[in-house]
Amino acid sequence: MVAIAQEVSVDPAVQKVLVTGSNIKRSEKEGSSPVQTINAKQIAATGANTVAELLHSIPAFGSGSSVDVTDGGFSRGAATASLRGLGSSSTLVLLNGRRITASAYADPNQGKSAVYDLNSIPVSAIERVEVFKDGASAVYGSDAIAGVVNFITKTNYTGAELTASISANDDGEFARQNLSGIFGFGKDRFNAFVSFDVAKRDSTLIKNVNDVEKGMYADINARLNPYSSSLSSSPFFYAERAPGGKNFANTYALRALVKNQLDCPTSQQITGDRVTHNMSATDTLVGRTFCNFNTNDYSEVQSAGKDANVLSRATYEITPSMTAFAEAGYSRSERTYLRSPTAFRGTSATTVFLLGGAPQQFQMILPVGHPDNPFPTQRAAVGYRVSAAGGAVNTNETYRFLTGLRGTVGAWDWETGFLWNRAERKEETLGMLYRPTLEKVMTQGGPWPRSTPILASRAI
């Protein structure tokens, strides 16, 4: 007789891990809170080159998030996450269960909240992402009202990966270049990895995007065809109505006391019409030919940027029940924004600057007898847009260092650590009006169109 042993099925052991939204280790299925996990295979399938791109492929992230592509908002230069549309200041960002440093930005909630920059996390180091789509303020604090996103880095990784990508549209616009890599090694009870991401993107102007139908401006407002600004770039001169009163003619009834020059191509010249251009009856531009200004020459749909970040992590098993770990990271992101040239109008005061950045109020008024004053017996206020473009350069840097121990004692898990974070931001504004140059113009002659009263220097 042959005896056949009956096979007994054994349920596989379920590994318990620390799930985002709780301080107790458990399996993901044991919790009632909505935790979504995106694993390494799913991350690779998105084709995301940055953490911000990865999160934007997840439906829970949407309104209130920022992908940092243009010069807009108080936190320009930072990419942020927003769960359920509650805003980035209500969505906490963690790295391996610990906070990343808050970005060095003024907060809209009077300093009571923080904004976390996703540009500081290299996507090449991420093993999985846990999204806790419920309020977690009881565990993490008030900045987790909308939820928590926790980036978990690779563990016990050995080997090397290198990824490069270049992208642009069919016209060569929206160009981006990315290079990322990770190198890991380990032996016996030790493991460590180093990951890096570097990226560069080029500026793309609205005027160079063929998908934007510029002719459609005419259907919206004829004044915008083909130029999209109502502010003239002509030199305008407004006569002073009473000596020393600083009350300058600026109405249609006093149009004879308003003069302008045409220093632009004929194609850019427009003759003001009340109906066509939706002007008021008192507009000094009615019936006047002037130079309109095309703001699309300076409007970006993607600003130029450079990013670099490095993250390393190491673990060492001291005993079977105790492990030491350490992390070190650095990130740097730079954004260069283009802005329209600065304009001023001498009928009222304009903020100008001294060398070093001290602001002052200044009014461009030409005295009687000035070579550029078209009025022989009256002072003239000058309205003008300078020729040099403005802009800004924002640089964000973050530093992270973490070290600690974790282990088990019987049925208890314990962990202790020391975390040091630092964030720095430098913002340079270009194209500010420089008072000494403006004063020189008032005494020696104007810039129109021979020179420019602008100090295109990063010293301002």
Q: What is the pLDDT of residues 58-104, one digit of tens each?
A: 877 765 555 555 555 556 777 888 887 777 777 888 999 898 888 87
Lowest mean pLDDT of 148-162, 168-182, 438-452, name the range: 438-452
Rounded Cα gap, residues 423 and 104, in angstroms: 6
Q: What is the pLDDT of residue 458?
A: 32
Rounded Cα gap, residues 215 and 261, in angstroms: 27
CB atoms within 10 A of CB 384: 27
In tens, the pLDDT along 446-460 reads 665 433 444 333 332
Structural tokens at position 167: 């992208």
Question: Is it the case that residue 24 has pLDDT exceeding 60?
Answer: no
Of the candidates 357, 378, 321, which has an alpha carbon nearest to the alpha carbon of residue 459?
357
CA 209, distance to chain mean position in Å, is 20
| Lookup result for tokens 């098993």 | 317
Question: Is it the case that residue 208 has pLDDT exceeding 90?
Answer: no
Q: Report the first-to-last Cα separation within the chain, whole angstroms.
A: 98
Rounded Cα gap, residues 83 and 134, in angstroms: 9
Rounded Cα gap, residues 51 and 55, in angstroms: 6
Amino acid making up residue 380: A
Mean pLDDT of 193-212: 85
| CB proximity list for 219: less than 8 A, separation 6 or greater | none
Rounded Cα gap, residues 288 and 271, in angstroms: 5
Q: Could you give the 3-state DSSP secondary structure of residue 56? A: coil
Separation in Å, CA 416 to CA 324, 327, 411, 413: 10, 14, 17, 11
Separation in Å, CA 389 to CA 282, 341, 363, 410, 430: 31, 4, 21, 67, 8
Q: Could you give the 3-state DSSP secondary structure of residue 43? A: helix
Residue 219 is classified by DSSP as H
Give the chain's mean pLDDT: 79
Q: 3-state SS of the chain: helix, strand, coil percent to 5?
A: 15, 40, 45
Q: pTM for the full model?
A: 0.77
| CB proximity list for 367: less than 8 A, separation 6 or greater | 373, 379, 442
| Lookup result for tokens 């907060």 | 107
Asked if 165 contacts 181 with a C-beta cutoff of 8 angstroms, the reply is: no
Structural tokens at position 278: 């939706």
| Lookup result for tokens 């996390």 | 121
CA 214, distance to chain mean position in Å, is 26
Lowest mean pLDDT of 199-213, 314-328, 385-399, name the range: 199-213
Structural tokens at position 422: 């630092």
CATH class as words, domain 17-203+303-337:
mainly beta
Q: Return the sign of the alpha-carbon dihedral for residues 82, 85, 91, 97.
A: negative
Residues of the chain with CATH 2.170.130.10: 17-203+303-337
